[in-house]
Amino acid sequence: MGIIGFGIGKIYAASFLNVKTYYPRLPAVELVGIATSSEASARAAVEHFGFPFATTDYRELLQRDDIDGLVIAPPNYLHYPMLLDALQTDKAIYIDKPLTNTLEEAREVVRLARERGRNAQMIFEMRFNPALQYARELIQSGRLGQLYTFRARYYRSSYTDPNKSLRWKASAEKSGTGVLGDLGAHVIDLVSWLVGQPEEVCAQLRTFIPQRPQGPVETDDHFILQANLPGGVFGTIEAGRLITGAQNGIQVEVYGSEGSLRWDLEDPNHLYLADRRMPEAERGWLKIPTMQRYPDAALPGGDVPAGMVRFHIASAAAFIRSTVEGQPYEPDLIQGLRVQEVIDAACRSAAEKAWARVG
C-alpha cells in the first residue's frame, strides 16, 4: 500500500498494518510508501510507521510497481486531481470522504471510472460498526415496520476555541464546505445506507466564528438539514464543530410503526431497540450488546468492547478482501457521488432559502 496524506492517514496506516492480525486469512499489508505535504511530515511518517519510501510528490507512488493499492487522504481539494491520476493506473483505490469538493467533479470521477472499468472504496468506516450493521439488518427485515422518521447528527467540540486555526478547512476553495462535507458526509452516508437516499432537502448553514487566526472563515460551523425520502419518510441531519461537551458524538435514531432504534458513537457497543409488539410493560428501550460481532474476524471476540479504530480495521479488511477476490467495493464511488449530491442540494437550499431536489 501507498498512502497520500499523513493527517488522517495515520489511522489508515495503522488499520492496514493490523488487518492481518484480526483477519489471518487475508494477505498481509506492507506499507511501501507515503506522500506528504512537507519533508517534515514525511520524516515523521517514516519514523512512526517505518515506510521505506517517502516523498512530497504523490505521482511517485503512482509510478511504483511495488505498490498495489493507494490510500487517498489529503485535504479535500486534492481528492479530484489525485483520483483522476490514480484511475489511470491499475492500483486499487481507498478514498477518504468527501469524494470531491463539487458535484461536477464527483460526476467526472464516476464517469472516468466507468470508462476505464474501474471503481474504488469510499472510507465510510461507521458502516463497519457491529451495532449499526445490526440496525440495518433490523430495518431491512421489517422489524421497525413502516418507517416514519429519523434523526442523524454528528457533534464535535474540536473548534470551540476561537483562537484555533482551521487551516485549509476555513477556505471554501480548498474545503468545499465546512462541517457539511467534513462531519456531515458521515451521517449523510449513514442515512442513505440505513434508511434511504434523500430526494429533496431544506438546509440552513451557519458560521458562528467568522474570523480565526488564519483569516476569514468561509465555511460552515454548523448545519441543519431536513430531508424527504421515498415513501414519505422524513427526518433531520445535523452536524456541528462548536459543541462544547461533545467529543466525537454521532447519534442515529430511526422510528417506525412497529419499533424504534437508536445508537450513539460515545456508547458504540450497544444498540437500543424498542418494539411495539412487546407487552406494554416491556416496550421501553432494550439495550442490545453488539460489542465486536465481526463474524469473519479471528479475534478479539464478540464480547470484547469495540472502538472507532476497530471500525477502520474492518473497513480496511473489506477493501483488501474485495480487491484480492475481485468483488465490488461497498461503499464505492457511487455512494460517494450520492453523498456529494446531498451536499450540493444542501448548499443550493441554504443559498436560495428553499427546498432543493437531490441529484
Q: Which of 356, 252, 310 is nearest to 130 (CA)?
A: 310
Q: What is the pLDDT at residue 353?
A: 98
| Fold entry, domain 142-288+341-352 | Dihydrodipicolinate Reductase; domain 2 (3.30.360)
Q: What is the pLDDT at residue 340?
A: 98
Q: What is the pLDDT at residue 10?
A: 96
* Percentage of the chain lying above the pLDDT 90 cut: 97
Could you say which DSSP state residue 209 is in?
A: -
* Type of residue at 356: A
Q: What's the rounded mean pLDDT across residues 161-175?
A: 97
Average pLDDT, rounded, for the chain: 97
Question: pLDDT tier at 89 (50, 70, 90 boundaries)?
Answer: very high
Question: pLDDT tier at 6 (50, 70, 90 boundaries)?
Answer: very high
The edge-to-edge listing of strands for the beta sheet with 92-95 is: 53-55, 33-35, 2-4, 69-72, 92-95, 121-122
* Percentage of the chain lying above the pLDDT 70 cut: 100
Q: What is the pLDDT at residue 32?
A: 97
Q: Which of 98, 357, 350, 352 is nearest to 225 (CA)?
A: 350
Supply 27's cell numbers: 494477505
**What are the distances in angstroms from CA 6 to CA 11, 12, 56, 84, 235?**
9, 9, 11, 20, 36
Instruction: List the beta bridge partners of residue 55.
Output: 35
Q: What's the rounded mean pLDDT across residues 216-224?
A: 98
**Total Cβ atoms within 10 A of residue 338:** 22
Task: Express each pLDDT in 97-123 by its tens digit.
Answer: 999 999 999 999 999 999 999 999 999
Supply 178's cell numbers: 465546512
Residue ranges covered by each domain of the chain: 142-288+341-352
Question: pLDDT tier at 195 (50, 70, 90 boundaries)?
Answer: very high
Supply the pTM of this predicted model.
0.97
User: What is the C-alpha to C-alpha distance for residues 267 and 23, in angstroms, rounded to an integer?
Assistant: 25
